[in-house]
Chains A and B, each alone.
Chain A
Amino acid sequence: GAGVSQTPSNKVTEKGKYVELRCDPISGHTALYWYRQSLGQGPEFLIYFQGTGAADDSGLPNDRFFAVRPEGSVSTLKIQRTERGDSAVYLCASSLGQGMNTEAFFGQGTRLTVV
C-alpha cells in the first residue's frame, strides 16, 4: 500500500479483555513507532523498532503492554487485561531508517474503547 495501514480502525472491548492492534508499515521502512493519543492530547511515545528488535520501549506504560515485529515488517501491539484508561487512539508510524532526516509517516490510527 501507499501508506501506513492500521487495523482495525475501531475496536471496542470489555474491561479485562485482551486486544491486538496491527500495523503495516510502508514497504521498505525499517523503523516503526507506536504512539498513543488520548482525547485532547498530543501523541505519546510508546515504543520503536529498528528491524525486528525493540530499540526503545521506555514509553510502554506497564507490563500489560507488549509489541512485536517478528519479521521486521508488520507489527502488533498487544494489550492484556485492558482497563478503561487504555481507551485512546493508537498510532503507528514508519520511516526509512533511524537517521537524522528520515521522516516518520503516520497511519490513521486504531481507536480503542474499553467499556
Chain B
Amino acid sequence: QKEVEQDPGPLSVPEGAIVSLNCTYSNSAFQYFMWYRQYSRKGPELLMYTYSSGNKEDGRFTAQVDKSSKYISLFIRDSQPSDSATYLCAMGKVGFQKLVFGTGTRLLVSP
C-alpha cells in the first residue's frame, strides 16, 4: 500500500463547476500538506500548503485537512479551462523536506 493514495482520473468537468480533489494517506507523522499543479512537460507549481488540520482559502482554491481521517481535499470554485492540469497532493513530516507525493489527478475543464 502506498503512503499516499490519489485517484489518477481523468476528472472532466464543465467550465464554472466546483471541483473536488482528494488524497488519503497512511502515515500519521505527516504534518504538512501541499497541493501542486503540474502542466504538461512542466515542473510542479505550489498552489497551497497547510500545517496540521484545518482549512485554508486562497482565491478560488480551498484546502482542507482532516488528520483524524487521514484525508485531504482541494476545492476549486468557478473552474476555468486554464485549470486543466494534473493536481498533485504532497505531504511531509518537516516542512518541504522529503515530500511524499500522490500519483496526481488529471483535471480537464471544458469550455
Which residues of A are in contact with B by a Cβ distance under 8 Å?
4, 31, 33, 35, 40-45, 48, 55-56, 58-59, 91, 93, 95, 98-109, 111
Contacts and interface: CB of A to CB of B under 8 A. Distances in A.
A69 B46 CA distance: 25
Contacts of B36: 106
Contacts of B32: 100
A101 B95 contact: yes
21 contacts: A33-B97, A33-B98, A35-B99, A35-B101, A42-B102, A42-B104, A43-B88, A44-B101, A93-B43, A98-B97, A100-B51, A100-B95, A102-B96, A103-B49, A103-B96, A104-B46, A104-B99, A105-B46, A106-B45, A109-B41, A111-B41
Contacts, number: 71
Nearest to B88: A42
B98 A48 contact: yes
Nearest to B36: A106
Contacts of A109: 41-43
B44 A43 contact: yes
B97 A42 contact: no
Contact of B98 (A45, A106, A108): A45
B90 interface: yes
Contacts of B102: 42
A48 B36 CA distance: 19
B42 A108 contact: yes
Contact of B97 (A40, A41, A48, A105): A48
A93 B88 CA distance: 15
Contacts of B46: 103-105
Nearest to B100: A45
A40 B8 CA distance: 8
Nearest to A4: B43
A56 B95 contact: no
What are the 9 closest A-B residue pairs judged by CB atoms, nearest first?
A42-B101, A106-B43, A104-B96, A100-B95, A108-B43, A106-B44, A43-B101, A45-B98, A42-B103
